[in-house]
Amino acid sequence: MRDFVWADELTDEQDDDVRGLLLAARETDGRPDIEPGGSLPGEFAGPRHLLCRVGDGSSGSLAAYAHVDVQGDAFGRKVAELIVHPAHRRQGHGTEVLAEVLRAATGALRVWAHGDHPAAARLAERFSLKRVRELLVMGASSAEHEWPEPELPSGVRLRTFVPGRDEQAVIDVNARAFDWHPEQSAFDVEALLAAQRESWFDPNGFFLAENGDGRVIGFHWTKVHPANPKRFGGLPVGEVYVVGVDPDAQGGGLGKALTLAGLRHLRDLGLGRIILYVEGDNAPAVAVYRKLGFSTVETDVQYEKGS
């Protein structure tokens, strides 16, 4: 017997149960990015939460969990994440949870399928969901590539991020560079300040490009992930987290120069594997990354229910 509970805010007990489910999923799948004792990943923050328990009502085991971001992406589309506990898989819980999420949804809704698993594709077909987005995870070995010194456009200099001074300048570039992006375009100063409080934040790996007037016209924000036994060979990896170039400064090689600066920094940290996320339909960016030695290692997919 399944018991469904919707909640806008998790109780301490529910939070512990969800955390346990996410950690179990990470142990099996390598995802989501959550550490024991750490906070829930950002994609599970805010309303609404759906808990599916099996057994004795509200005290039963948490078999599956879904989070629906009701605020939605930058274009107002609600976004859902759905995870079934590894111990309760292949018992129909995922199907029933997705059915409940779709039943409760109003307006456009997108559902993530991380890893593009065939079972997710079958579920999408069953519920007439349309495949609308592919997010590629690309990877490269730093030991196999001699990434050269970046060649900056004339009059441009490179420096690292200064907390407390550069937030607005970065967000201004970000807003102009990613006005088309469903998540990144909504990134703001408050979110950047919150990221600086995370244990992984390192200003020395956050590169800014300034023009002759001292205005920030581009940035490359890198990130280091701890070892994950189920992904990328179980070793720590560096990430090309965000590369943003002001549209007025595009076309002169600045994006490539910023990317190279970050890649060389991550390599010098001793990280043998570098990853990045890029939209599958962003052909120019994918082409640049392939020339730098990256290849697709995973694909995340969004399926959409129409309004």
Q: List the domain boundaries for the chain.
A: 2-128, 138-299
170 is an annotated ligand-binding site residue: no
298 is an annotated ligand-binding site residue: no
**How do residues 264-284 score in pLDDT, each as one tens digit?**
999 999 999 999 999 999 998
**Single-letter residue type at 148:** P
pLDDT at residue number 31: 92
277 is an annotated ligand-binding site residue: yes
139 is an annotated ligand-binding site residue: no
Per-chain mean pLDDT for the chain: 94
Between CA 117 and CA 294 the distance in angstroms is 22
The CATH number of the structural domain formed by 2-128 is 3.40.630.30
Domains 2-128 and 138-299 share a fold: yes
Q: Where are the beta strands (DSSP E) in 193-270?
A: 206-210, 216-225, 237-245
Q: Is the pLDDT of residue 221 over 90?
A: yes
- The model's pTM is 0.90
pLDDT at residue number 84: 96
Contacts of 150 (CB under 8 A, 6+ apart): 158, 256, 257, 258, 260, 261, 264
245 is an annotated ligand-binding site residue: yes
pLDDT at residue number 38: 74
Between CA 181 and CA 81 the distance in angstroms is 19
Using DSSP, state whether 294 is helix, strand or coil: coil
Query: What's the average model confidence in pLDDT over 15-40?
Result: 90
Q: Is the pLDDT of residue 177 over 90?
A: yes
**How do residues 155-176 score in pLDDT, each as one tens digit?**
999 999 999 999 999 999 999 9
Q: Is the pLDDT of residue 59 over 80?
A: no
240 is an annotated ligand-binding site residue: no
Q: Is the pLDDT of residue 306 over 80?
A: no
Q: What percent of the chain has pLDDT over 70?
A: 99
pLDDT at residue number 307: 61
276 is an annotated ligand-binding site residue: no
CA distances from 224 to 221, 227, 233 (A): 10, 10, 15
pLDDT at residue number 57: 58
Out of 29-38, 68-77, 125-134, pick the least confident. Answer: 29-38
Q: Is the pLDDT of residue 203 over 80?
A: yes
Contacts of 257 (CB under 8 A, 6+ apart): 150, 151, 152, 153, 156, 158, 209
Half-sphere exposure of 190 (CA within 13 A, CB side): 1
Q: Report the length, in residues, of the chain.
A: 307
62 is an annotated ligand-binding site residue: no
Q: How confident is the model at residue 189 (pLDDT cuts 50, 70, 90)?
A: very high
Query: What's the average model confidence in pLDDT over 107-131?
Result: 94
255 is an annotated ligand-binding site residue: yes
pLDDT at residue number 153: 94
254 is an annotated ligand-binding site residue: yes
239 is an annotated ligand-binding site residue: yes
**How do residues 246-256 score in pLDDT, each as one tens digit?**
999 998 999 99
212 is an annotated ligand-binding site residue: no
Fold of 138-299: Aminopeptidase (3.40.630)
183 is an annotated ligand-binding site residue: yes
84 is an annotated ligand-binding site residue: yes
C-beta separation of 238 from 145 below 8 A: no
250 is an annotated ligand-binding site residue: yes
Q: Is the pLDDT of residue 58 over 70?
A: no
